[in-house]
Structures are given as C-alpha cells and as structure tokens.
C-alpha cells in the first residue's frame, strides 16, 4: 500500500488552566492512497484533533508539540501561507462534525458555493462554478436546481449533509476527511449516505478518512481502521483482520459493545469504567484501569507499538514482539 498521509510520533497539546492537556500522544497513523480508512474511538479520544492536524487546522491554543505529518511525501507542517491555501480544499478537505450547521442560514446554497470557490480558486468562471456544483449535487443525489436556489432551512438534515459532501469535492481534493458524517441522521439516511460516499470513493478515486465513534460504521465503509484511546493509536490494521481477530483488549471490548455485530444479545457488553481524564492520565498504559488483562508492567510503561508482517499494528504489553501477535492470531 502506498501511503498518502503518514503521521509519525504526533503529539498535540492544549495548555489549559488546570494543566497541559495532551489530546494526541506520539501517534503513528497511515492513510493509504485510494482506500477508505476509519479512525474509531470514543468522543475525546483525539480523532478530530488528529484530523485537524492533518488539515493544518488545530485551533488555538492547541499546538503540535512533536512528530511529523507528510502528505504525498510533502511535509505538511512546513507549508508556507500560499502553499497552505492550495493544500486546504485542493489537496485535502474536511466535512466537520455537525457540518450541516456550518451552512450560512441567510444565503442560498448557490451563493455559498460561489463564495467557497472564490476563496480558493481564481481560475473558474461563475458558470463553470455553478456547472461543477450542479454535477456534484447530482452525484450526491440531490436535485441541483432545487438545492442551488434553496436556503439551508429549506433542506432536511440528510440533504444538508449531502450538500456539505458536495462542497468538500468542489476543488477535486485527493483526500476527504469526514468527521462523524452520519451521527445526527436516522439509520436509513445513514445507509444512503454511506452508499453515496462509497460511490464517490470508487468513481472519483478519492482517498477518505472517516472519523467515527461507531465501530458498526467502520465495518460498513472502511478498508483500514485505526483505533484511538485517550490520545493514543492503540491498534491499526486491515478492517477484515481487525474484526476477525481484534488484538488490543480495548478494540475487542469496542467490538463486543456493538449490538449489530453480535447475534447473541446476551454477549453484548458495554465497556466498564470510563476513559481517563486527559489532564490526569494514569501512568503506564492509558487503558490499564479498565483492562482485564492488566499486569504490573501495564501500570508502569505505556507499551510501544509492535508491527506484524501483515501490516497490523498494536500497542499492548500482551505482545512483546511481532511473533507473539502472529501467535495469538493463529491460535
Ligand atoms: Fe491491557 Fe496491559 Fe495491554 Fe494495556 S498494555 S491493553 S493494560 S494488557
Ligand atoms: Mg470529535
């Protein structure tokens, strides 16, 4: 797999009155070109912060305290002002969480599209902009004439979400990041949107990063998945491999907590306890207070990631070396 984005040792901190909050802790993460990668984790696990860093959009007072991000081999962190303007939207775009609410309530969709274009590209005429928008709206299965002339309040939540997806494609980015793209929507609308996203991915060959707290969504849409817990990427790998045999105890618990993946209702279990306070992290492995396999070492050292030859990664003391991961897999 050829990486489009490579995140290495990324640490992002937010100085707070109560102390330094480390939202992302020495995270490694790869987004392969041409695939749909999901980043899954509970709210506050660091997914959105990591995605914002890839977008070079960490909000003040947050800062990248260490590590690197490359996009197609280019160092994202050192992009100058002009390069950055071209990078955002033309290389990578993001549909933010609850993006429907980001639409300007007092402007028609058409005018908002033209404004977005103008802010990022000088090379389109107004007719070209509207034609392009029309095509994309058609692609997300909306009636272009109706939508272009509508105000946001005249559209349903699912329609607005599709408008935002069309917006994210206006400047032909290589990567689209979608933060909880279907969270506020009903199940049928969710399925419909995933269907559209998959079609866009396939027809336009767009790499996607999907941020979600819902591991069921991952199963439906992604090729590859990373699992975040309290700012750490604890496991990453091929989606099929991960569902078949999760390696990190947290991933295993996440999967057991999903009703749709378990036929036997009695097997469904929530994860006891709650994620740690990021301002007051436990020593050692951040998952140890909730982990049934925790042993003495877990309380002292945060595990280093182990890579298997199959491209699976896991950070857990149960796997001191790649061979032991393979062993667990075949047992
Ligand atoms: Fe559990 Fe220890 Fe692995 Fe952490 S390192 S997940 S506490 S076994
Ligand atoms: Mg979030």
Three-class DSSP category at 253 = helix
CB-ligand 1 contact for 79 (6 Å cutoff): no
pLDDT at 261: 47
Q: Which domains does the chain have, with CATH numbers?
A: 3-325 (3.40.50.300)
pLDDT at 157: 86
Query: E-strand spans in the chain?
Result: 3-16, 19-32, 36-40, 63-71, 74-75, 92-95, 175-179, 207-212, 224-229, 232-238, 306-307, 313-314
CB-ligand 1 contact for 328 (6 Å cutoff): no
- Which of ligand 1's atoms lies nearest the C-alpha of 291? 1
* Contact of 159 with 86, CB cutoff 8 Å: no
Single out the residue of 94, 65, 71, 95 nearest to residue 83, CA to CA.
Answer: 71
Distance separating alpha carbons of residues 238 and 311, to the nearest angstrom: 8
CB-ligand 1 contact for 249 (6 Å cutoff): yes
Single out the residue of 103, 90, 107 nearest to residue 170, CA to CA.
Answer: 90
Distance of CA 238 to the CA centre of its chain: 15
CB-ligand 1 contact for 64 (6 Å cutoff): no
Helices (H) and strands (E) in the chain, counts: 11, 12
Distance separating alpha carbons of residues 49 and 55, to the nearest angstrom: 10
Number of Cβ atoms within 10 Å of the Cβ of 99? 21
CB-ligand 1 contact for 287 (6 Å cutoff): yes
- Which of ligand 1's atoms lies nearest the C-alpha of 298? 2
Number of Cβ atoms within 10 Å of the Cβ of 271? 17
What pTM value is reported for the model?
A: 0.91
Q: What would the two tokens of residue 10 be?
A: 């990324």
- Which of ligand 1's atoms lies nearest the C-alpha of 248? 6
**Those residues with Cβ within 8 angstroms of residue 40's Cβ, 6 or more apart along the chain or in another chain:** 47, 212, 213, 214, 215, 218, 225, 226, 227, 228, 254
Q: How far is the CA of 280 from the centre of ligand 1 (A)?
A: 18
HSE at residue 43, side-chain half, CA atoms within 13 A, is 3
The stretches in the chain having pLDDT less than 70 are: 99-100, 258-269, 326-331
Radius of gyration, CA atoms only, the chain: 21
Residue with tokens 């599709």: 162
- Which of ligand 1's atoms lies nearest the C-alpha of 303? 5
pLDDT tens for 251-308 read 999 888 766 544 555 555 678 888 999 999 999 999 999 999 999 999 999 999 998 8
57 DSSP assignment = -
Distance of CA 290 to the CA centre of its chain: 24
CB-ligand 1 contact for 234 (6 Å cutoff): no
Q: What would the two tokens of residue 286 be?
A: 């951040």
| DSSP alpha helix (H) spans, 55-208 | 81-90, 109-120, 126-139, 144-148, 157-168, 187-204
Distance of CA 126 to the CA centre of its chain: 33
pLDDT at 262: 44
Single out the residue of 55, 61, 47, 72 nearest to residue 13, CA to CA.
Answer: 61
CB-ligand 1 contact for 288 (6 Å cutoff): yes
């Amino acid at each position: 797999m050829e990486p489009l984005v490579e995140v290495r040792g990324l640490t992002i901190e937010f100085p707070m009155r109560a102390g330094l909050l480390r939202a992302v802790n020495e995270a490694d993460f790869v987004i392969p070109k041409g695939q749909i990668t999901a980043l899954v984790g509970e709210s506050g696990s660091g997914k959105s912060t990591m995605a914002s860093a890839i977008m070079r959009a960490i909000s003040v007072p947050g800062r990248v305290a260490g590590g690197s991000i490359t996009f197609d081999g280019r160092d994202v962190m050192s992009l100058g002002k002009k390069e950055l303007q071209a990078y955002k939207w033309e290389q990578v775009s993001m549909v933010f969480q609850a993006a429907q609410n980001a639409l300007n309530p007092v402007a028609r969709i058409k005018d908002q599209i033209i404004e977005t274009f103008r802010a990022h590209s000088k090379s389109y005429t107004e007719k070209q902009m509207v034609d392009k928008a029309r095509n994309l709206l058609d692609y997300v299965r909306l009636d272009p004439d109706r939508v272009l002339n509508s105000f946001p309040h005249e559209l349903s939540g699912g329609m607005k979400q599709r408008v935002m997806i069309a917006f994210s494609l206006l400047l032909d980015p290589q990567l689209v990041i979608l933060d909880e793209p279907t969270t506020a929507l009903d199940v049928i609308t969710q399925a419909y949107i995933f269907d559209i996203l998959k079609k866009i991915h396939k027809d336009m060959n767009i790499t996607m990063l999907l941020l979600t707290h819902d591991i069921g969504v991952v199963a439906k849409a992604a090729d590859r998945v990373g699992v975040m817990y309290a700012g750490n990427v604890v496991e990453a790998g091929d989606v099929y491999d991960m569902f078949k045999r999760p390696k990190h105890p947290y991933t295993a618990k996440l999967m057991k907590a999903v009703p749709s993946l378990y036929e036997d209702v009695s097997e469904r279990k929530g994860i006891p306890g709650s994620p740690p306070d990021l301002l007051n992290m436990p020593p050692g492995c951040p998952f140890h207070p909730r982990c049934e396999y925790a042993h003495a070492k877990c309380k002292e050292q945060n595990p280093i990631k182990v890579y298997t030859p199959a491209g699976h990664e896991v950070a857990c003391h149960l796997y001191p070396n790649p061979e032991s991961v393979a062993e667990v897999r075949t047992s």
